[in-house]
């Protein structure tokens, strides 16, 4: 493939890396080194958008002639943010709290062209309605998949799909952490079409 532009993913997430690999483009990954804390009174969608831009911008000087992809996701339910559980006990608590409820996953993607300094961003929300979850089902799921690095404690791309009643989104890859439909459109406008 004749790929004239350097493409960089501003992320160390294996999930985002796996998603970007689906497009068949050569790319590099680099850690963005951004403080991911929310600002006071900042809405989840605003946090995701701001951080996706900051992640792309943080690599600008390292890659002076590249297309840099930044992405961020903030999950919430009933006004409370859902972080990565980190361990089994937190994941149990998180899934119990999500049982029978709807969570929103706000995923933003930004594409920075460091040659022109143009940046394009898009927010792709995903509503996830969880089934009513029995404790035995939660335990069985967590033992098998151990999704302790996933906000919401459920990997929709894996066995976590069994915990979900339905999803509403324009792009199912947004739930995994990188909205590929939006990104494909951005790359084409930036002169790097996925399909010639």
Catalytic (active-site) positions: 72
How far CA 30 is from CA of 113, 156, 174, in Å, comes to 16, 25, 20
Q: Which of 33, 32, 23, 29 is nearest to 6 (CA)?
A: 29
String of b and e for 36-62 (b: at least 16 CB within 10 Å)? eeeeeeeebbbbbbbbbbbbbbbbeee
- State both tokens at 184: 């494909």
Spatial contact of 38 and 54, defined as CB atoms under 8 Å apart:
no
The dihedral over CA atoms of 181, 186, 18, 115, expressed in degrees to the nearest 10, equals 180
Query: From CA 60, how far away is CA 52, in angstroms rounded?
Result: 13
């Amino acid at each position: 493939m004749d790929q004239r532009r350097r493409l960089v993913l501003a992320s160390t997430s294996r999930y985002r890396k796996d998603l970007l690999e689906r497009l068949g483009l050569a790319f590099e990954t680099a850690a963005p080194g951004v403080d991911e804390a929310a600002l006071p009174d900042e809405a989840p969608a605003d946090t995701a958008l701001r951080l996706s831009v900051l992640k792309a911008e943080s690599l600008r000087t390292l890659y002076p002639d590249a297309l840099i992809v930044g992405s961020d996701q903030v999950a919430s339910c009933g006004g409370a943010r859902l972080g990565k559980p980190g361990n089994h006990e937190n994941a149990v608590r998180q899934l119990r709290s999500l049982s029978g409820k709807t969570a929103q996953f706000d995923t933003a993607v930004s594409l920075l062209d460091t040659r022109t300094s143009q940046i394009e961003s898009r927010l792709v929300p995903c509503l996830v309605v969880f089934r009513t979850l029995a404790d035995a089902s939660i335990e069985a799921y967590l033992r098998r998949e151990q999704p302790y690095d996933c906000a919401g404690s459920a990997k929709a791309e894996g066995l976590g799909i069994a915990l979900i009643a339905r999803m509403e989104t324009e792009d199912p890859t947004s739930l995994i952490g990188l909205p590929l439909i939006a990104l494909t459109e951005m790359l084409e406008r930036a002169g790097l079409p996925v399909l010639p």
